[in-house]
């Protein structure tokens, strides 16, 4: 784990240096959004409270790196995520491989919520073909043995996602189903329901989320 933490920290530092000396071909994109709750993998992390988030990403030649932050987690407080990855197309298949590390400044250094960069990290592989996508999340630090899988389908302005967890160290696995409608490029509505759970006591209420995103131009 220590070598992985070192690798992730070095990756974030390298991404930061790249953003300082970005080549002319690189693109910088940013956005801000607000949602009626912090919906995460079928669960309401904000206990029904609104969540405000924003991100900034540097990309070029298929590579990208950035920072995402949110106010919404009711338990751990403010969240700051650092990520870097590479996306490309292999014929009709799109491939996106990235590494993410999640930090919670309000949780305290060394806390269970992963304050330090690398304490709580995942490698994410996304594959897409036409309207169908598959994503695999492998936790490499902080909760080893935890996987999360999604299968998605996009139909015009509608999107449907089935997500399921797999935890080797517990029986807390569950499956959820999300259905979303994008009214336009900014406003969307999502229904999310846990449809199968083990003994994790997850909230199985139907969640309804309204979110509004705003791309920011330089």
**pLDDT tens digits, one per residue of 24-37:** 578 999 999 999 99
Let me know if domain 2-216 sits in CATH 1.10.1760. no
Identify whether the C-beta of residue 175 lies closer than 8 Å to the C-beta of residue 162. Answer: yes
Gyration radius (Cα) of the chain, Å = 17
Two tokens, residue 61: 């030649």
Whether the Cβ atoms of residue 147 and residue 164 lie closer than 8 Å to each other: no
Q: Is the dihedral of CA 56, 177, 151, 189 positive or negative?
A: negative
Rounded Cα distance, 103 and 83, in Å: 11
Which stretches of the chain drop beneath a pLDDT of 50? Answer: 1-22, 109-111, 113-114
Task: Give me the residue spans of the domains in the chain.
Answer: 2-216
Maximum pairwise Cα distance, the chain: 52
Which pLDDT score, from 0 to 100, does residue 7 have?
A: 43
Q: What is the pLDDT of residues 77-114, one digit of tens each?
A: 889 999 999 999 999 999 999 999 999 887 654 445 44
DSSP state of 50: -
pLDDT score at 8 = 47
The whole-number pLDDT of residue 169 equals 80
Q: CA-CA distances (angstroms) from residue 159 to 148, 155, 188?
A: 19, 6, 10
Are the C-beta atoms of 39 and 192 separated by less than 8 Å?
yes
Question: Are residues 1 and 8 in contact, defined by beta-carbon separation less than 8 angstroms?
Answer: no
Predicted pLDDT of residue 15:
45
> What pLDDT score was predicted for residue 73?
77
CA angle 15, 16, 20 (to 5 degrees): 115
């Amino acid at each position: 784990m220590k070598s992985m933490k070192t690798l992730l920290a070095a990756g974030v530092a390298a991404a930061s240096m790249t953003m300082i000396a970005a080549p002319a071909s690189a693109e910088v994109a940013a956005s801000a959004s607000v949602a009626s709750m912090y919906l995460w993998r079928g669960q309401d992390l904000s206990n029904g409270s609104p969540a405000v988030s924003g991100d900034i990403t540097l990309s070029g030649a298929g590579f990208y790196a950035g920072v995402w932050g949110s106010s919404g987690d009711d338990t751990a407080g403010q969240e700051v995520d650092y990520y870097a990855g590479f996306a490309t197309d292999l014929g009709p298949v799109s491939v996106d491989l990235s590494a993410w590390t999640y930090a919670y400044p309000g949780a305290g250094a060394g806390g269970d919520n992963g304050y330090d960069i690398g304490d709580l990290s995942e490698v994410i592989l996304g594959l897409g073909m036409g309207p169908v996508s598959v994503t695999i999340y492998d936790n490499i630090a902080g909760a080893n043995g935890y996987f999360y899988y999604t299968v998605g389908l996009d139909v015009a302005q509608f999107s449907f996602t089935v997500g399921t967890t797999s935890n080797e160290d517990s029986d807390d696995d569950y499956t959820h189903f999300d259905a979303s409608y994008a009214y336009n490029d900014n406003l969307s509505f999502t229904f999310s329901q846990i449809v199968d759970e083990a003994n994790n006591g997850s909230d199985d209420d139907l969640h309804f989320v309204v979110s509004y995103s705003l791309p920011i131009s330089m």
